[in-house]
């Protein structure tokens, strides 16, 4: 395992459809983050998990968005009834919180969503 992997890398969908993104963090990492990034902007925090517990959600995470990390390993981010404004890069990051914590987040390559 060499890093955080995200799937799919690209998704094109029609408005109103549901989409799901998957993130596989670095295997020993207990914390997992989701961010969203639109063109020309820095990443915006959406939510994060400590193991399977979702500890914080941004106001950006409307009720159409849901994230899970059922077994404290991989995570999914689902967007229901997509809108054109959901078009963005969705980034996942992981870190190890604990005795060996360095403060570093490891990011995946992102999943780019285009809503037509």
Partner 1 sequence: DAKTTQPPSMDCAEGRAANLPCNHSTISGNEYVYWYRQIHSQGPQYIIHGLKNNETNEMASLIITEDRKSSTLILPHATLRDTAVYYCIVRASQEYGNKLVFGAGTILRVKS
Contacts with partner 1, residue ranges (CB under 8 A): 4, 31, 33, 35, 40-45, 48, 50, 56, 91, 93, 95, 97, 101-110
Q: How far is the CB of 101 from partner 1 (least distance, A)?
A: 6
Q: How far is the CB of 41 from partner 1 (least distance, A)?
A: 7
Q: Which residue, 31 or 69, has its beta carbon nearer to partner 1?
A: 31
Pairing of strands 111-115, 10-13: parallel
Q: How far is the CB of 58 from partner 1 (least distance, A)?
A: 9
Please list, residue by residue across 64-90, b when 16 or more beta carbons sit within 10 angstroms of its beta carbon and e when fewer do: ebbbebeeeebbebebeebeeebbbbb
3-state helix, strand, coil in the chain (%, to 5): 5, 50, 50
Measured from the Cβ of residue 91, the count of other Cβ atoms closer than 10 Å reads 24
Q: Which residue, 83 or 109, has its beta carbon nearer to partner 1?
A: 109
Q: Which residue, 97 or 116, has its beta carbon nearer to partner 1?
A: 97
């Amino acid at each position: 395992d060499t890093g955080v992997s995200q799937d799919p890398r690209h998704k094109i969908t029609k408005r109103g459809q549901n989409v799901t993104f998957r993130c596989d963090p670095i295997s020993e990492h207990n914390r997992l983050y989701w961010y969203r990034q639109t063109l020309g902007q820095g990443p915006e925090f959406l939510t994060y998990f400590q193991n399977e517990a979702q500890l914080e959600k941004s106001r950006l995470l409307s009720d159409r968005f849901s994230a899970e990390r059922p077994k404290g390993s991989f995570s999914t981010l689902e967007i229901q009834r997509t809108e054109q404004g959901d078009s963005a890069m969705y980034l996942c990051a992981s870190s190890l919180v604990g005795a060996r914590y360095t403060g570093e987040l490891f990011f995946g390559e992102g999943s780019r969503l285009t809503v037509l």
